[in-house]
Amino acid sequence: DAKTTQPPSMDCAEGRAANLPCNHSTISGNEYVYWYRQIHSQGPQYIIHGLKNNETNEMASLIITEDRKSSTLILPHATLRDTAVYYCIAQYGQNFVFGPGTRLSVLP
């Protein structure tokens, strides 16, 4: 599985969009990009995933660059409850390997 690189931490003002970047420059053609988040003391929660096209669901949007070497998770209107560690994973098959993630702090 491709290695991903994320900033260790980010801040975002409540009500503003949170844009979380992820670099996966060694991603292969059949590897999907997954995003999970972990709110303090809970198990990780699935957010969204995609292969080539941009994706949107009720939680977030995923923007994948045309060369697929990076992606951005967008939380359109961040709330205090979105404060969490966000994990980006490039994965094919069954093995999900979580990196250290980005600790997002949403500030009032």
Partner 1 sequence: GAGVSQSPSNKVTEKGKDVELRCDPISGHTALYWYRQSLGQGLEFLIYFQGNSAPDKSGLPSDRFSAERTGGSVSTLTIQRTQQEDSAVYLCASSLGRFLGGSRQSGELFFGEGSRLTVL
Kindly indicate which of the ranges 16-24, 28-36, 62-70, 74-82 contains the residues binding partner 1, using the contact rule CB under 8 A: 28-36
Residue 26 burial (CB count, 10 A): 12
Establish if 93 lies at the interface with partner 1 (CB under 8 A).
yes
Q: How far is the CB of 15 from partner 1 (least distance, A)?
A: 28
Determine contact, residues 65/16, Cβ cutoff 8 Å: no
Does the protein bind partner 1 through residue 34 (CB under 8 A)? yes
Q: Is 39 in the site for partner 1 (CB under 8 A)?
A: no
Asked whether the beta carbons of 24 and 38 are under 8 A apart, the reply is no
Is 78 in a helix, a strand, or coil?
A: coil
Interface pick for partner 1 out of 20, 64, 101, 106 (rule CB under 8 A): 101
- The distance of closest approach from Cβ of residue 70 to partner 1 in the complex, given in angstroms and rounded to an integer, is 20
- CB contact set of 36 (below 8 Å; sequence gap of 6+): 44, 45, 46, 47, 86, 87, 89, 98
**Residue 36 binds partner 1, judged by CB under 8 A:** yes
The residue count for binding partner 1 (CB under 8 A) is: 25
Check binding of 103 to partner 1 (CB under 8 A).
no
